[in-house]
């Protein structure tokens, strides 16, 4: 069995966590992206970064990250502070507990996320207000902490033992 403990951090607040960095598949042009939280305990998003390439349609786009519960209810929305103009390629960064929200240039923006602990089954979605059919989101990368509680870990071990 491999040694997994070297990638764990401890906190008095929730037990142990493992850093996770994963990419999300590029959505079709004119569409946003979403992923469902898959965790043994709680997932804490540290950062989400993606590229948005806009077409020539003259209207500002406003990217945002949404947290939704398992029933699809919006719990929180985190929009960028200023729109991305037409005909640009911009990197959008959403960073946990980051302040202030700034637009560094028209090709780069940073926005604060709240460091919530998201339950398994919840959805994190990237949407763009005023998205056009030829706009493209790409290079989606998520950095998170996956908090595992002792009870969750014991349940998983017990389920795996039953499969043997």
Per-residue pLDDT of the chain (164 residues), as tens digits, is: 344 444 444 454 546 788 999 999 999 999 999 999 987 778 999 999 999 999 999 899 999 999 999 999 999 999 987 788 899 899 999 998 776 655 555 567 788 888 888 998 999 999 999 999 999 999 999 999 988 766 655 666 566 666 66
| Global pTM value | 0.79
How far apart are alpha carbons 65 and 42 in whole angstroms? 18
25 located within any domain: yes
User: Residue 119 belongs to a domain with what CATH number?
Assistant: 2.60.120
β pairing state of 8-11 and 15-24: antiparallel
Residue 112 within a domain? yes
The answer to whether position 3 is within a domain reads no
The answer to whether residues 75 and 56 touch, using CB atoms and an 8 Å cutoff, is: no
Question: How many domains does the chain contain in total?
Answer: 1
Residues 6+ apart with CB under 8 A from 3: none
**Whole domain around residue 115: which residue ranges?**
13-163
Q: Does any domain span residue 143?
A: yes
User: Is 93 contained in some domain?
Assistant: yes
Contact 33, 135 (CB under 8 A): no
């Amino acid at each position: 069995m491999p040694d997994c403990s070297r990638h764990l951090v401890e906190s008095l607040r929730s037990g142990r966590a493992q850093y996770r960095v994963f990419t999300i598949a590029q959505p079709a042009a004119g569409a946003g992206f979403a992923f469902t939280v898959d965790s043994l305990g709680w997932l804490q998003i540290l950062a989400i970064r993606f590229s948005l390439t806009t077409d020539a349609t003259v209207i500002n786009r406003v990217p945002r990250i949404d947290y939704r519960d398992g029933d699809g209810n919006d719990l929180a929305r985190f929009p960028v502070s200023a729109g991305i103009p037409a005909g640009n390629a911009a990197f959008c960064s959403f960073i946990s507990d980051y302040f202030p929200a700034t637009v560094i240039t028209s090709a780069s923006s940073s926005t604060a996320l709240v460091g919530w602990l998201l339950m398994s089954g919840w959805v994190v979605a990237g949407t763009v207000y005023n998205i056009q059919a030829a706009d493209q989101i790409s290079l989606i990368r998520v950095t998170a902490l996956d908090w595992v509680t002792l009870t969750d870990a014991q349940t998983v071990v017990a389920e795996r033992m039953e499969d043997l």
